[in-house]
C-alpha cells in the first residue's frame, strides 16, 4: 500500500485534478482506514474484508471506493460501490491507476458486458472508447501524459487485463457490517464465462 511519502502517491496528488476530471478517479490525500466506511450511507459503501488490512485509497464520483487489501502475503485492490458490488481491479495502486487511465469507462464496460467471453467485452470496449474520445478529444493525449508522468506499468491489452481481473481471479469476500455480502458486478445476471 502506498503512503503519503511514497513518490508515486506524491505524483498522483500532483495530477489529481486531471485524474478526477478526465478519469473519474479521486486519489485521497492520505489513505483512510476502513472504519471511515463503517456507517452505511446512500453515497458511501460500508464494508468489511474479513481477516485483511484495508485502506481506502481513492473514490469516484458515484460514491464507490478503491480499497487496498492485504491478507498474509496476498495484496489486491478492489472497487466497492454503494450498490453492493465489488470488482478486483489490480494487485496494487499503480495497476489500478494504469487500468483507470487505459479504460476510464471500465465500470460501464463491465455493466454493459453481455457475456460471451473476451471478444464480446472487446466489442463493447471499442464502442465505449469511440464515445469517450468523441466526448473528450484530448483523452488520448491525457493518457499518454499521465502514463509517462506517473510511470505507470504498461498494460499491453487493457481489455484482456480487466477480463482476467474480473473473471479469472479468485473472488475476495467483502461483507456489509449489516450482514449481507457484496456481489461481483460481472456475475449479476449471467453465468460466469
Mean pLDDT per 10-residue interval, the chain, length 193 residues: 71 96 93 76 76 93 92 90 90 96 96 91 97 94 96 96 91 85 62 32
pLDDT at 183: 85
Q: At which residue does the C-alpha cell 498522483 appear?
A: 12
CA–CA separation, 137 and 87 (whole Å)? 29
Name the helix (H) or strand (E) containing 96.
helix 93-102
pLDDT at 47: 87
Count of CB atoms situated within 10 Å of the CB of 100 = 26
Say what the alpha-carbon torsion angle 66, 41, 35, 111 is, to the nearest 10 degrees: -20
Amino acid at each position: 500500500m502506498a503512503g503519503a511519502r511514497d513518490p508515486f502517491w506524491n505524483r498522483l496528488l500532483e495530477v489529481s485534478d486531471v485524474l478526477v476530471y478526465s478519469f473519474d478517479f479521486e486519489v485521497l490525500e492520505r489513505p483512510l482506514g476502513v472504519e471511515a466506511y463503517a456507517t452505511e450511507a446512500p453515497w458511501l459503501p460500508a464494508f468489511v474484508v474479513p481477516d485483511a488490512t484495508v485502506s481506502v485509497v481513492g473514490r469516484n464520483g458515484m460514491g464507490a471506493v478503491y480499497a487496498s487489501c492485504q491478507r498474509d502475503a496476498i495484496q489486491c485492490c478492489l472497487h466497492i460501490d454503494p450498490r453492493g458490488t465489488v470488482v478486483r481491479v489490480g494487485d496494487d495502486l499503480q495497476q489500478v491507476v494504469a487500468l483507470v487511465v487505459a479504460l476510464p469507462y471500465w465500470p460501464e464496460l463491465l455493466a454493459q458486458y453481455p457475456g460471451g467471453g473476451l471478444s464480446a467485452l472487446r466489442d463493447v470496449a471499442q464502442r465505449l472508447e469511440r464515445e469517450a474520445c468523441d466526448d473528450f478529444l484530448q483523452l488520448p493525449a491525457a493518457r499518454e501524459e499521465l502514463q509517462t508522468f506517473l510511470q505507470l506499468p504498461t498494460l499491453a491489452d487493457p481489455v484482456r487485463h480487466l477480463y482476467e481481473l474480473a473473471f479469472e481471479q479468485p473472488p475476495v469476500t467483502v461483507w456489509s457490517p449489516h450482514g449481507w455480502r457484496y456481489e461481483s458486478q460481472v456475475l449479476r445476471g449471467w453465468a460466469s464465462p
